[in-house]
């Protein structure tokens, strides 16, 4: 019974939200405000019972871990942002977060997101195996595999050239920058294609819910 | 008003309606387009297949109900694959709303394969902190997650006996719809501890992770509902992702048609104005 009621509420709210596609209306506004309110309440309750209570309040006041006064004070200082006169106090915990996070992150981030990516782009410059495959079994796939790494390298270099603004984009340099723009456009196109796929997937998810769970048509 | 001007001023609600039909009709009347398995998904499957029975797989859920249509089918398919291979699953999450979804996936698969909570799988729940949680768990899992998601001490569970840190984890899967998520797992688990990491992500974020796959930092990648459908195809099961692929293909075809159609009339109008 409760499950059926939940499905009906979810279905009606889905229709309320989708009604915005026709035009803005009170049903959409109601669903939107309800969502914002419920989300805020959910996060407030969840944060208190799952983060503040087990990590700060219980250990500090129940087990006497007085070192936790430091994060408590930093947390209170952060809330001072809400009061303009003492808003400057929030800069201290923010500085602490930025500093500690940067220090913690820096090396690992560079290693995983820069060094490894550069290595993977440049090494090996030519994959002997894929060229062998091309000559032994010529075809579109083997050809694409063979030229994959050189194309990536050309794309990276010309892409970087496009973003090099200390020299005017003229002559050979300008030509390379234009090639870089083509690579960027292809990348944006691929990314947009994936975005379309994601949005359609979400629509399919909702329609599947309405047709399967609510109306039992499929 | 000529035909070009009419198309330029077409009511966008007509487009919405056509997209809606393109999604609903294939859902009601499935066509059964062939689903071809891509290399990143095949790599993911092969990586799981290569694990010996009894291996520990850590599945971290970094998604929420808003991305369920894309990520949840992956979660279900992976849970099924792990249990079919007699692998043990330790669930956890860096997003709180992912925990019940991961649990539901594991429970459903456990029922199908006769697996037991605490013996074959466990859910350690959510911990705030993102990358710091991963670092902490890498050093000491029981200290980072002393209780499971229901509040029971993890020492009670047979599956957790002998599990101290990432040395006891054979494979890590991050099912992610944003940050904190896959990138953090790559940075800490793969980069710092050399663990095998694979991911399932939303289609929007998939292009950002292909470089990691090519660099060997990821063992496999499932991207969006399409990726989930491919995984279901390899497993020879039909889930919600496979059922949605007809609608996805028709809707994509329609959008491609819109783009070509709009550009054709745009160029035609431009030429006439000259």
Domain ranges in chain A?
Answer: 124-218
Percent of chain B predicted with pLDDT > 70: 100
Q: What is the pLDDT of residue A145?
A: 83
Partners of residue B67 in chain A, C-beta under 8 Å: 202
Cβ–Cβ gap A187/B207 under 8 Å:
yes
Query: Tell me, what's the ipTM?
Result: 0.90
At B233, the pLDDT band (50, 70, 90 cuts) reads very high
Percent of chain A predicted with pLDDT > 90: 65
Q: Does A191 touch chain B (CB under 8 A)?
A: yes
Own/partner contacts of A158-165, CB < 8 Å, gap of 24 or more, are A158/A183, A159/A183, A159/A184
In the block, tokens 């399919």 appear at: A204
Interstrand relation of B121-126 and B88-93 (parallel, antiparallel or unpaired): parallel
Three-class SS state of B176: strand
Mean pLDDT along residues B114-140: 93
* Interface residue of B69, B101, B128, B211 to substitute, partner A, most A CBs within 10 Å: B69
Name the residue in chain B with its Cα closest to that of A148: B214
Taking CA atoms, B194 is separated from A69, B50, B163, B197, in Å, by: 36, 17, 17, 9
Question: For the stretch A170-203, what's the b/e string if a residue is b when 16 or more beta carbons lie within 10 angstroms of its beta carbon?
Answer: eeeeeebbebbeebeeeeeeeeeebbbbbebbbb
At B1, the pLDDT band (50, 70, 90 cuts) reads low
Cβ–Cβ gap B192/A196 under 8 Å:
no
Name the residue in chain A with its Cα closest to that of B193: A108
At B7, the pLDDT band (50, 70, 90 cuts) reads confident
Encode pLDDT of A68-104 as tens digits. Answer: 999 999 999 999 999 999 999 999 999 999 998 888 8
Encode pLDDT of A99-123 as tens digits. Answer: 988 888 888 889 898 898 888 887 7
pLDDT of A196 higher than 80: yes
Which of B191, B214, B252 lies closest to A112 in CB terms? B191
Mean pLDDT over each residue of chain A, to the nearest integer: 91
At B4, the pLDDT band (50, 70, 90 cuts) reads confident
pLDDT of B8 higher than 80: no
Distance CA B234, CA B45 (A): 8
Percent of chain B predicted with pLDDT > 90: 84
Closest CA to B61 of B153, B178, B212, B203: B178
Q: Does A108 touch chain B (CB under 8 A)?
A: yes
Going across the sheet that includes B197-201, the strands are B121-126, B88-93, B56-62, B171-176, B197-201, B221-223
Window 1-30 of A, Cβ < 8 Å to B = 21-22
Domain ranges in chain B?
Answer: 3-30+247-273, 39-237
Tell me how crowded residue A37 is: count the other CB atoms within 10 A of its CB. 10
Q: What is the pLDDT of residue B209?
A: 94
CB B60 within 8 A of CB B214: no
DSSP string, A49-84: IIIIIIIIIIIIIIS--GGGHHHHHHHHHHHGGGSG
**What element of type H or E holds B175?**
strand B171-176
Encode pLDDT of A127-159 as tens digits. Answer: 788 888 888 888 888 888 888 888 988 999 999
Q: What is the pLDDT of residue B36?
A: 93
Cβ–Cβ gap A204/B225 under 8 Å:
yes
Q: Does A136 touch chain B (CB under 8 A)?
A: no
Task: Decide if domain B39-237 falls under CATH 3.30.499.10.
Answer: no
Cβ–Cβ gap B69/A205 under 8 Å:
yes
pLDDT of B2 higher than 80: no
Tell me how crowded residue A80 is: count the other CB atoms within 10 A of its CB. 17
């Amino acid at each position: 019974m409760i499950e059926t009621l939940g499905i009906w509420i979810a279905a009606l709210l889905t229709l309320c939200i989708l009604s915005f596609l026709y035009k803005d209306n009170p049903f959409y506004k109601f669903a939107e405000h309800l969502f914002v309110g419920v989300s805020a309440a959910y996060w407030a309750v969840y944060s208190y019972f799952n983060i503040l209570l087990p990590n700060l309040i219980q250990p500090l006041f129940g087990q006497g871990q007085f070192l936790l006064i430091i994060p408590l004070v930093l947390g209170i200082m952060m809330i001072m942002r809400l009061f303009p006169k003492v808003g400057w106090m929030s800069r201290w915990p923010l500085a602490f977060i930025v500093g500690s996070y940067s220090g913690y992150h820096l090396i690992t981030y560079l290693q995983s997101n820069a060094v490894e990516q550069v290595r993977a782009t440049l090494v090996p410059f030519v994959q002997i195996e894929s060229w062998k495959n091309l000559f032994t079994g010529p075809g579109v796939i083997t050809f694409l595999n063979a030229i994959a790494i050189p194309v990536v390298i050309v794309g990276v270099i010309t892409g970087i050239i496009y973003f090099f603004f200390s020299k005017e984009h003229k002559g050979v340099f300008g030509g390379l920058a234009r090639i870089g723009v083509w690579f960027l456009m292809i990348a944006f196109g691929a990314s947009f294609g994936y975005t379309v796929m994601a949005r359609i997937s979400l629509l399919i998810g909702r329609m599947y819910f309405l047709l399967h769970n609510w109306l039992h048509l499929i | 008003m000529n035909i070009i001007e009419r198309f330029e001023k077409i009511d966008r609600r007509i487009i919405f309606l056509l997209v809606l039909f393109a999604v609903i009709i294939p859902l009601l009347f499935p066509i059964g387009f062939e689903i071809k398995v891509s290399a990143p998904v095949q790599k993911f499957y092969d990586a799981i297949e290569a694990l010996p029975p009894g291996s520990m797989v850590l599945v971290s859920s970094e998604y929420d109900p808003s991305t369920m249509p894309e990520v949840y089918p992956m979660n279900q398919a992976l849970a099924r694959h792990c249990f079919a291979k007699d692998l043990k699953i330790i669930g956890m999450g860096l997003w709180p709303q992912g925990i019940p979804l991961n649990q539901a996936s594991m429970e459903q698969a456990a029922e199908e394969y006769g697996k037991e909570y605490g013996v074959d799988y466990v859910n350690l729940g959510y911990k705030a902190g993102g990358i710091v949680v991963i670092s902490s768990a890498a050093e000491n899992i029981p200290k980072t997650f002393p209780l499971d998601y229901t509040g029971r001490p993890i020492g009670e569970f047979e599956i957790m006996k002998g599990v101290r840190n990432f040395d006891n984890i054979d494979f890590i899967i991050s099912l992610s719809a944003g940050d904190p998520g896959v990138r953090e797992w790559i940075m800490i688990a793969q980069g710092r501890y050399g663990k095998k990491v694979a991911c399932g992500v939303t289609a929007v974020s998939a292009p950002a992770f292909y470089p990691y796959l090519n660099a060997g930092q990821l063992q496999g990648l499932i991207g969006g509902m399409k990726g989930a459908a491919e995984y279901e195809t390899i497993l020879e099961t039909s889930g919600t992702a496979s059922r949605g692929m007809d609608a996805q293909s028709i809707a994509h075809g329609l959008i491609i048609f819109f783009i070509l159609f709009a550009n054709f009339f745009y160029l035609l109008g431009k030429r006439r104005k000259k």
